[in-house]
Each structure stands twice: as C-alpha cells, then as structure tokens.
Amino acid sequence: MDYFSAVDIITTKRDDGVLSDDAIAWILSAYMRGDVAEEQMSALLMAIFFNGLNGREMNTWTDRMIDSGERLDLGELSRPTVDKHSTGGVGDKISLILAPLVAACGAAVPQLSGRGLGHTGGTLDKLESIPGWRAFLTNDEIRAQLDSVGAVICAAGQGLAPVDRKLYSLRDVTATVASIPLISSSIMSKKIAEGTNALVLDVKVGRGAFIKEVGQARELASAMVGLGLSHGVATVAQLTSMNAPLGRTVGNALEVTESVEVLQGNGPSDVRELTLALARIMVELVGIDVDPETKLDDGSGYEVYQRMIRAQGGDPDAVLPVAACRDEVVSIEDGVVHTIDALDVGIAAWRLGAGRARKEDPVSAAAGVVCLIREGDAIVQGQPMFELHADDATHLQQGRDAITNAVVVGERNVNAEPLLLERITN
C-alpha cells in the first residue's frame, strides 16, 4: 500500500473530494494502530459529517471496519439466519418478542444487541432485569444456542468491527454521531460481521426517534439497505413512527413484563402489529412459508422465549424487580388526547432511573413509566395519565418534572397516525 498522510486525507475530504479505497484502508488501519492522532481522526469525522461519503467510499469504509476484526461464522447452522436492528425508540421492546417468535417459525435469529443511552432504551438492560440472565456469550455459545433454541439475544463480541467501537466513542464526543454515512457503516459493519443471511432494519422516525423527518429516515434506510445488499445480506428496511411511545411501558422490567404479555397473546395492539410486520418480512427474506401470527397465537413463540432465557442463565418465571416508589400524573383538563410526546416520556423514564447519561452509568431495573392513556382517548380532569416508577423519591420527582408537558389535550377527535410508514427495499 502506498504511503498516505493523515493531513492530506483530511484536506481531501474537507474540500469535498473523494477518498480512494487505499486511503480509507490506510487511515482506519493507522488509527487502530495509534499512528493517527485522535484530533486528526476527529477532523476527518467532521469533514465527513459536512461533506459525506459517496456510495463507493461508504462501501469501502464499511469493508475496512468489518476487516478490523473477526466475523461470526454461522454457516454450519441447519436453519437460515435472519436478524433485526432498530435505530432506537421509546418503549421499543420488539426484539424480546421478535427473536423467539421468528425462531418458532424455523429461522435462527442471532440478535446481537446493545444498551440504552439517554432517552432510548437498550435490549440488554431490559433482559438484565431477569434474575440470572447473562448478556455475554462466547461465539461457540452463540452457535450452540442457535442450534438448540433458534434464538439468542446477547452483547456483540469485542472482536466484531473493533474500529467502529473506537470511532463511535470519538463521534460521541465530537458531535459527529448524526451523519448518515457514519451511522450506516457503523450499524452495518457489525451486522455483516455477525454473519447473518438476512436483515430487517426498523428505522424509527418522529419525536422520540434519533431521526425526526421521514426524508432523512428514508435516506438512512436506503443507505443501510444498499450496504447490506452489496455485501450479500438480503436486507429490507421498515420505517416506523416514533412520535408516541410504543406500547404502554417504558422501562426495563416493565417492558419485559409487557413483552411476555404479547408472547402470551395479549398486550398492546401496536406492539403486536409491529412485531408481526417485522416477523413476516424476516421469514419472507429466508424463504420460510409460515405466518408468524400462528406461532404467536399458539404459544410457540413464548415457549422459545422461555428456552432462550433459560439457556442464558435466566429464570423466565422469576418475579421481576418492583419500584419502591410510585406516583400518578393526572390530567388537569377534559378533552381528547391529541399527542403523547415519546421524547418527553423517554426522558422521564431516564430521569426516573431507567436510562443512563454515559455508557458506564448504572440503570434501575424497576424504574420507568406506564402510559395509562393512548392518543385519541377521551380524558377528564383528574384522570391518571401516567404511572411513574422509581427507586427513591428524588428520582420520582425528576421523572415527574420531565413528563409535565408530554400530553397535548384538545377538544376534537384526532385521526391516529399509522405505525408502519414505508418499506425500503432499494
């Protein structure tokens, strides 16, 4: 490989130029070795933030991130593999239901998940509210569980796309997270390295999502689908609304309980609707001719869930943590609920103790919000709207302060907006 200069590469992208494949390979490798300074990589990330990467650059950037670590080999499994990734939302507990449900249909679902940050919850945090459950598995344990159970939800190994982990930490402190090329390559490098045959992307858009506008969500979805397809992974994206919280609960143990309710044939209709929509895409991508609704209704999905939790040391029948302090937030007026702001509810759950400001912060298993109303409901003064759960009075008050303006009440009925917005197949 030719010799490159970090300054020359930064200058090229600063001036809206195009980076060669060799230049991208060199700077990512040199950064991993410590030969490119943090301030130099910060400058390059900011240049990419403003000037982007074209399709070839983004493919190469993604390739080099994958090549920085190991790949999980799932080729010897007897079942076809398919995964789902969500860009994060409020009350988004879909993975807990979806992985065992799709496994019940005959696929293997390797869900390598993460933790929550800020107002968005993390799948691992939710499952860790189950006594004994463990997030960290070896590659051999992952393969064995996929063979025996069909589903695994666990932490991504340290060996998958390690340069992405280093870059993400830098992006977090340099205000360069919100870049579609960098988001796309970050997500897809890990998913491709995971070794799955197919992937469904749940791209959230709205008040409680990372992306607020449909156009931007469409652009991100299209970029990720393109990366997946170009790397031989059958990939489809579903844009979904995140203006209101998904389901009725926001918080770790609370969301586990709600997920179990859905797996047992009950639970909120929107959670069921989104789960089935994503499950149908997943089985379609791997050629399984089974309607997931049948596996939800006959209890097969719940049986796989129990086996999945037990396989990772958890007790699916254990009593989950319960908050020491609870309070209700009531309506101050009569009318019809026009909006429930997902961002406000997510921040309230975070302030109650369910979320974290930094990756190393602890979270409360019991804290969170129960939504007692839905958009379109008629409501009267004094009627409870939210139930707040916290471990102590201080967190309870912080959550109450954050949720004060979450609901807009009007005089007339409103039309409920659709949950499923658009499918992106590129």
Q: Report, as residue numbers or ranges, the catalytic residues.
A: 85, 164, 171, 186, 190
* Nearest-angstrom CA–CA distance, 308 and 25: 39
**What region does 319 belong to: left with phi over 0, alpha with psi -120 to 50, or beta?**
beta
SS3 of the chain: the string is: CCCCCHHHHHHHHHCCCCCCHHHHHHHHHHHHHCCCCHHHHHHHHHHHHHHCCCHHHHHHHHHHHHHCCCCCCCCCCCCCEEEEEECCCCCCCHHHHHHHHHHHCCCEEEEEECCCECCECCHHHHHCCCCCCCCCCCHHHHHHHHHHCCEEEEECCCCCCHHHHHHHHHHHHCCCCCCHHHHHHHHHHHHHHCCCCEEEEEEEECCCCCCCCHHHHHHHHHHHHHHHHHCCCEEEEEEEECCCCCCCEEEHHHHHHHHHHHHCCCCCHHHHHHHHHHHHHHHHHCCCCCCHHHHHHCCHHHHHHHHHHHHCCCCCCCCCCCCCEEEEEECCCCEEEEEECHHHHHHHHHHHHHCCCCCCCCCCCCCEEEECCCCCCEECCCCEEEEEEECCHHHHHHHHHHHCCCEEEECCCCCCCCCEEEEECC
Residue 345, C-beta contacts closer than 8 angstroms, at least 6 positions apart: 90, 91, 208, 245, 250, 369, 371, 386, 403, 406
Contact of 381 with 305, CB cutoff 8 Å: no
How many residues are listed for the chain in this entry? Answer: 426
* Nearest-angstrom CA–CA distance, 401 and 206: 22
